[in-house]
Amino acid sequence: MKKIVVLSGAGISAESGIQTFRDANGLWEGHDVALVATPEGWKKNPELVLEFYNQRRRQLLEVSPNEAHKILVELEKYFDIQIITQNVDDLHERAGSQKVIHLHGELLKVRSSNNPYFILDWKTDLKLSDTDKLGHPLRPHIVWFGEEVPAMQEAIQHTETADILIVIGTSLQVYPAAGLMHYTKPEIPIFYIDPNPLNSIKISNPLYIISKKGTEGMAILKEKLLKEYCT
CB 185, CB 168: distance < 8 Å: no
C-alpha to C-alpha distance for 17 and 73, rounded to whole angstroms: 20
For the four alpha carbons of 31, 113, 106 and 78, in that order, the dihedral sign comes to: positive
β-bridge partners, 7:
84, 167
Collapsing DSSP to helix, strand or coil, 14 comes out as helix
C-alpha to C-alpha distance for 86 and 225, rounded to whole angstroms: 24
C-alpha to C-alpha distance for 141 and 32, rounded to whole angstroms: 19
C-alpha to C-alpha distance for 40 and 25, rounded to whole angstroms: 21
Q: Where are the beta strands (DSSP E) in the chain?
A: 3-8, 27-28, 31-32, 80-85, 100-102, 105-112, 119-121, 138-142, 164-168, 190-193, 207-210
Q: Which residue from 67, 62, 97 is spatially nearest to 82, judged by alpha carbons?
A: 97
- Catalytic site residue from 69, 92, 102, 104: 104
C-alpha to C-alpha distance for 1 and 18, rounded to whole angstroms: 33
Catalytic residue at 31?
A: no
Which residues are identified as catalytic?
Answer: 104
